Structure 1
Amino acid sequence: MTRPINRGHPLKTLVMIGLSIGLAGCSQPIEQHGKDSQMTQPGTTLWRTIDALVQQIPFTKIKVENLLATHLVEKDTSGSPFQNTAFQFYTGGPVTLTDGVIISDVDLRIRHRSGHPGFLVLNVGGNCIHPDEVRAHYGKLKITDYPRGNSLDEATSYSVFPEWGKLSFGFVERNRSCLAYVAFDPRFEADKTAQ
């Protein structure tokens, strides 16, 4: 059964229709915005994400946001009680990849110095990536950092040294068989010219 339109108040009816359309149009983007940072990116695995990020060097906030479909906010993640004037810090996430890997945190640091390519760390979880999987993708890895016995959060870092800089894979002591982070440390332009 349909309700008859109240012809006595056409302005009221138009206002109600306009509000309904406006609210319906606004609710979808608000709902979508809340889901963006947790959306699964179709066909995007950790390995494809790494390859795509390498293509974005030098890193910028906008490049990383667009590639990972997440919003980065300015936040000093250095842990220092003093304001850091050397770097600009951005953080964001989580991002779920189709291989079940979750980038729980994106940590981007860009030096306030012209030409700096940025430094990027992806903290990962979800499906476990074993050291053998990393070796299968990157071949021989060099140990570049190791735990010193002070904390279960200390990591063993395995690195490769492509032309653009250093790519490291960290495995923390509390779960040594699963990848905890991926770090991108591109060479500074001055470093390239010094060679």
Structure 2
Amino acid sequence: MKVNLEYYNEFTIFYRAEGVKLSENINIGSIDLRANGNELHFPSILSFDISGRCITLNDIKDKFSHLEIVDYPGGHSLNDVTTYATKNDSHGVRLGFSFAEKNPDCLARVVIRK
């Protein structure tokens, strides 16, 4: 996997990577990493698109039972998403699972935030 430094400033370093195949039926792409650029402890975020086999909200709920809606479509685009997120774990990590309006039954993007 090739990782490119896209941009940086005093607060955040932005990286982008090409997609990878996780299995026969699952691919990840459009991988973004935003890393803390100083000691002020801005959050680090890893996000990626997911495609291939449809991963449903019920599949996610089987692994993470306590999800809350943290974002919902504004009605401006079929790329708008409904995002369900876990609460922060004991290490401050929060997972977000986004479902796009163009295919609302299948997981479209995952966000890992610390």
Using the size of structure 1 for normalisation, the TM-score is: 0.52
Identify the residue that residue 101 of structure 1 maps to in structure 2.
Answer: 26
The alpha carbon displacement at 1:71 in A equals 2.1
The within-5 A match list for 1:54-133 is 70-76=1-7, 85=9, 86-98=11-23, 100-114=25-39, 115-116=41-42, 118-133=44-59
Distance 1:99 1:132, change over 3 A: farther
Equivalent position of 1:189 in the other structure: none
Tell me which of 94, 104, 110 is aligned to 1:166.
Answer: 94
In 2, Cα distance between equivalents of 1:143 and 1:90: 27
CA RMSD of aligned residues (A): 1.7
1:142 corresponds to: 68
Give me the identity figure in percent: 29
Unaligned runs of 5+ in 1: 1-69, 77-83, 187-195
Q: Distance in 1 between matches of 2:22 and 2:48?
A: 12
Is 1:178 aligned to 2:112, yes or no? Answer: no
1:154 to 75, 80, 91: 80
Specify whether residues 99 and 142 from structure 1 end up closer, same or farther in structure 2 by C-alpha distance, changes over 3 A only: farther
Task: Say which SS state the counterpart of residue 75 (structure 1) adopts.
Answer: strand
CA apart distance, 1:117: 5.3
Deviation at 1:111, TM superposition (A): 2.9
Which deviates more from structure 2 when the two are superposed, residues 94-103 or residues 173-182? 94-103
- Alpha-carbon distance in 1 for matches of 2:54, 2:62: 15
Change (3 A) 1:184 1:174: same
Report the alpha carbon displacement of residue 140 of structure 1 after superposing the two structures with TM: 2.5
Structure 2 unmatched ranges of 5 or more? none
Larger Rg, first or second structure (1 or 2): 1
Q: Say which structure is richer in helix.
A: 1
**Superposed displacement of residue 106, structure 1:** 1.0
Larger RCO (CA within 8 A; separation ≥ 6): 2
2:102 aligns to what SS in structure 1?
helix
Give the alignment's TM-score, normalised by structure 2.
Answer: 0.86
